[in-house]
Amino acid sequence: MKRIIYFIFVVITFLIKSNVYGQSNENCFLDDFYPKAAILPQSTSAVKPVEPASVIVSVQGDTLGKISNYVFGNAIAAWAGGGYTDPTLVKNTNLLAPTLIRFPGGSWSDIYFWDGIPSDIPDSLYDGQTYNGSTANKAKVWWISGKGSWTTTPDQYYKFRDQLYTEGLITVNYAYARYGLSDNPVAKAAHHAADWVRYDDGRTKFWEIGNETGGPWEAGWMIDTTTNKDGQPIMVSGELYGKHFKVFVDSMKSAAAELGNTIYIGGQVLHYDGTNSWNAVDKKWNEGFFKEVGDKADFYVMHNYFSTSTNVKSILDLAVTEPKKNIDFIRQDILDKKAYSKPVALTEYNMGSGTTARATSYINGMQAVILISEMIKNNFGMAARWLLVTGEGGMFYDGADANYKYHPHPEFYYLDYLQKFYGDHAISAASPNANILCYASKFSSGETGVVIVNEGTAKQVINIDTKTVGVGQKYYIYSFTGGTDNGEFSQNVYINGNGPSTNQWGPYENLSNIPADSYPIGNEIKVTSPARSIQMIMIEGGNNVLSVNDEVNSEIPYAYNLCQNYPNPFNPSTVISYQLPENVFVTLKVFDVLGREVETLVNERQNAGNHSVQFNASNIISGVYFYRLEAGSYIDTKKLLFLK
């Protein structure tokens, strides 16, 4: 009998620990998952490219996972005021069809009081960005009221969502728990959040506690301990945030339950190793948060802005690698710290800081497609893109020219179409070419959606090998390209050749009337992919299984092309790729800034095809270098940067 009892105890302990150590399959973002049927676009017949394929991509039927409906989210900020009732903005946002809207903003969330400004707050706060290791300056705070005359109110937010028929994510003011002057500021702040849950009364499913709390730029990162009445430390920590998080969750979920509602609440984690961070709070953030929070969080929250580079290839490449790197780190950290496994939400993201011209270029649209595709591929639960409206730099223009108020920038056009070409399950897709990305999904109605991204500076002809995926009679394509203005960061986008007319930035006037190019499948699916372009493809479902023959599979490029080395900058080695459309004698050499030859990488006759060579710079000094490809009459030179 004792042995039986001991055995039962061991089994129960194992099951409990399995859940604690990250094995839970609960995912609040898939609770309302539903099968998705494809809508075939209006189309006009087109002729397949006659050139031989230069790249073969493969699409296979094995499932990577369900696609969360909430990866197509966006965000609004309270500083846009009452503009969210504007008919043009509502109409254009409805075309975008966001599945979720975050509110009331980023850092503003920690100084926003949804029901009016309370009396128990100071008139100034420490500015953590002036902290030098011992002191920081105080700055006056202009508190934001949800009942103000110029900021967006909760009711305006709800009305905006009602007109969009979309879900919400509300970021409650956590920092009030830090800088509040009451005897128990944590309980007071949690009660303030819970009252919003009551007022919301089931209209919003998702909530998060605070915004980037561990950052010195946030209110509450550092507090005046002489005015704090519950003995809090001067600086926040992951452990402290975790303790307070539990108080918020208990208050908010109790408030929801009072009214018969269910809500899901997210807590902030780092998506990188903070051990050696310049910010002392980062060093043990995850360790402290996971230790304190236990199973209280429904999902984990991260933010990221992807690339501050001015190099287009780097901007696009980072969008490929960074989402996987981020979520892999979080998942491993969950295991290492024996935390509960939860889905991950990227509740704020966009291209990294830079000029407005970069943010409003078609390159930002290309990067957005890659980011969302990688999030889907890596099973993110939610994503809220920053920001629908903010002056001249948001998705919708809100600058001084009234003629274009709330008209969309290029990223809108990419994201408007992208959601229509993603089904309900992600499936495997692969490309052998570093410049060509391929993503695929299946619809419950049988169709296959494929997204092709050409990051390179040369046109490619692509054959889609559908392997064991059955296809029907036709496939449909929308091709997105940039203009010739503003260098590499064109401010315009063209869809199947349709671009701006009287409007700026894209085919605004005839957006709903652009037909897809349709092609008979026959025995192959072939696509022309111009330089720096995206193709969104819908393949009819059916029982036909295609076979790619050897001639098509030769992958002979249609034109000469020298690619930008990757990575760049690099240390100590990098890869240089190039394409040859014919057999030819090739030299590839590296030179310093004075034109002196550093190394000959290739000096031979080579066959037509895709080639790459590694350059190892271990024996030279850091600096700028150039590499030059000569192939027949073709000559091209590019710059690389070696940083030891």
Nearest CA to 381 out of 422, 345, 410 is that of 345
> pLDDT by residue (tens digit) across 106-163?
999 999 999 999 999 999 999 999 887 888 899 999 999 999 889 999 999 999 999 9
> pLDDT by residue (tens digit) across 289-340?
999 999 999 999 999 999 888 899 999 999 999 999 999 999 999 999 999 9
How confident is the model over 229-249, as a mean pLDDT? Answer: 99
> In which band, very low, low, confident or very high, does the pLDDT at 555 lie, cut at 50, 70 and 90?
low
Q: Do domains 43-63+424-554 and 561-642 have the same CATH topology?
A: yes
**What CATH class has 43-63+424-554?**
mainly beta
Nearest CA to 490 out of 479, 476, 480 is that of 480
Per-position DSSP letters for 561-592, written without gaps between them? EEPPPBSSSBSSEEEEEEEESS-EEEEEEEE-
**Spatial contact of 479 and 533, defined as CB atoms under 8 Å apart:** yes
> pLDDT by residue (tens digit) across 475-515?
999 999 999 999 999 999 999 999 998 768 999 999 999 99
CA atoms within 13 A on the CB side of 71: 29
Asked if pLDDT for residue 13 goes beyond 90, the answer is: no
All structural domains of the chain with their residue ranges = 43-63+424-554, 68-414, 561-642
**Spatial contact of 448 and 467, defined as CB atoms under 8 Å apart:** no
Does the domain formed by 561-642 have CATH 3.40.50.300?
Answer: no
Nearest CA to 444 out of 43, 67, 27, 165 is that of 67
Q: Please name every residue paired with 629 in a beta bridge, in sequence order, or none if there are none.
A: 588, 636
What CATH number matches the domain at 68-414, 3.40.50.150, 3.10.28.10, 3.20.20.80, 3.40.50.300?
3.20.20.80
**pLDDT of 10:** 39
Phi, psi of 18 (to 5 degrees): -60, -40
Nearest CA to 576 out of 535, 517, 626, 533 is that of 626
> pLDDT by residue (tens digit) across 439-454?
999 999 999 999 999 9
